Amino acid sequence: MKHEYALGTAELSPAIAASPDFSGRWRNQMGSFMDLVVADDIVSGTYNSANSAGGPPVTGAIKGSVIDDLITFSVTWQRSGSITAWTGQLVQDGAAPKIRTLWHLVTNIPDGDEPTKLWMSTYAGADEFLR
């Protein structure tokens, strides 16, 4: 689906009256956690990745935004020179709220290798965060 068509469909969706509070500590299924601060729909905080290819945990600064019950944020991993971006939605599933997201992580490919290996630098997955 082309982005422009998806955006046109999204623009027809009704808006929610007020954004829920995303602030606080959230943990995903891998044991990573993030501490979110939301002010004026701007997201900041710290992400602590529990799993880094068998290495020690990695920490990065969060930058993002919220609108209604939607959230997007990214983390630049300074040590590895990579970036992960998450986009998702807060859902009420039973008694506890969850943030269900899809993510993309990109790593740098040397310029000379880009013609044949560019897409090898992009990983994708899903995370579910609980308070």
- The structural domains of the chain, with segments of one domain joined by +, span 25-130
The pLDDT-based confidence of 118 (bands split at 50, 70, 90) is: confident
Which candidate, 49, 70, 71, places its Cα nearest to that of 58?
Answer: 49
Strand intervals (E) in 16-95 = 24-28, 33-39, 42-49, 58-67, 70-77, 82-93
CB atoms < 10 A from the CB of 65, how many?
A: 13
What is the structure's pLDDT at 56?
78
Residue with tokens 């993309």: 104
Which candidate, 98, 100, 86, places its Cα nearest to that of 49?
Answer: 86
What is the structure's pLDDT at 21?
87
Q: What is the CATH number of domain 25-130?
A: 2.40.128.30
The pLDDT-based confidence of 14 (bands split at 50, 70, 90) is: low
What is the structure's pLDDT at 53?
66
- pLDDT over 70 at 39, yes or no: yes
Give the mean pLDDT of 110-126: 91
Tens digit of each residue's pLDDT (9 = 90 or more) over 40-92: 999 999 999 987 667 778 899 999 999 999 999 999 998 888 999 999 999 98
User: What's the pTM value of the predicted model, to 2 decimals?
Assistant: 0.86
Distance CA 91, CA 97 (A): 6
Distance CA 92, CA 105 (A): 27
Which percentage of the chain shows pLDDT scores above 70?
83
